[in-house]
C-alpha cells in the first residue's frame, strides 16, 4: 500500500526520532532572512514569499559560501552561511539537484513542505560564516 507523500514522510520522520541519522544542510542567507531565523530561536526557517515556491538548502559549505559571498553581499552588503542537521529519513524523499559546477548541488523543497522540513531539524541552525562588502572609498 502506498501512502501519500506527506503521510509517508511523517511516518518515516517519527520512526527516525530515536535514531541519530541526520543529513547536514547549508543555506546562504541575507540579513533579512538571518533576522527572521534569529527571531525563530535559530530553530526554523521563515515561510517563503509567494514568488519563492522552492526552498533551496545546499549540500556543501563551499557552494553556500560562494552564494553568500557573491550574491548576498552584492544584493545587501552582507551574506551569512548557515549549517543545520535534518533527519535523514525526511531528506531521502528529495533528490539532490546539480545546478552548475560539480559542487553546485542542492535540494528542492517545495514551499508548502517547509514546515515539515522545519519539524525535522535536529538542534539549532548554526551561523558558521559571514561575508561583508569591502569598505567603500568613503569608509576606508
Residue 121 domain-assigned? yes
**What is the number of domains present in the chain?**
1
Q: To the nearest 10°, report the CA torsion of 23, 60, 57, 95.
A: -70
Instruction: Render pLDDT for 55-91 as a digit per residue (tens, 0 to 9).
Output: 999 999 999 999 999 999 999 999 999 999 999 999 9
Residue 139 domain-assigned? no
Q: What was the pLDDT predicted at 132?
A: 97
Domain that holds residue 77: 5-132
Examine the pLDDT at 140 and tell me if it is beyond 80.
Answer: no
Exposure of 133 by Cβ count < 10 A (0-12 exposed, 13-18 middle, 19+ buried)? middle
Q: What is the CATH number of the domain that holds 110?
A: 3.20.170
Distance, in Å, from the CA atom of 112 to the CA atom of 116, rounded to the nearest integer, reads 8
Amino acid at each position: 500500500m502506498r501512502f501519500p507523500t506527506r503521510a509517508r514522510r511523517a511516518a518515516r520522520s517519527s520512526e527516525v526520532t530515536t535514531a541519530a541519522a541526520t543529513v547536514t544542510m547549508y543555506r546562504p542567507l541575507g540579513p533579512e532572512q538571518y533576522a527572521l531565523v534569529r527571531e525563530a530561536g535559530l530553530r526554523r526557517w521563515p515561510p517563503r514569499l509567494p514568488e519563492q515556491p522552492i526552498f533551496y538548502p545546499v549540500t556543501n559549505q563551499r557552494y553556500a559560501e560562494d552564494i553568500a559571498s557573491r550574491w548576498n553581499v552584492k544584493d545587501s552588503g552582507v551574506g551569512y552561511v548557515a549549517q543545520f542537521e535534518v533527519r535523514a529519513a525526511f531528506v531521502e524523499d528529495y533528490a539532490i539537484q546539480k545546478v552548475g559546477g560539480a559542487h553546485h548541488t542542492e535540494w528542492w523543497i517545495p514551499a508548502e513542505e517547509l514546515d515539515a522540513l522545519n519539524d525535522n531539524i535536529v538542534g539549532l541552525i548554526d551561523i558558521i560564516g559571514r561575508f561583508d562588502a569591502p569598505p567603500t572609498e568613503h569608509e576606508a
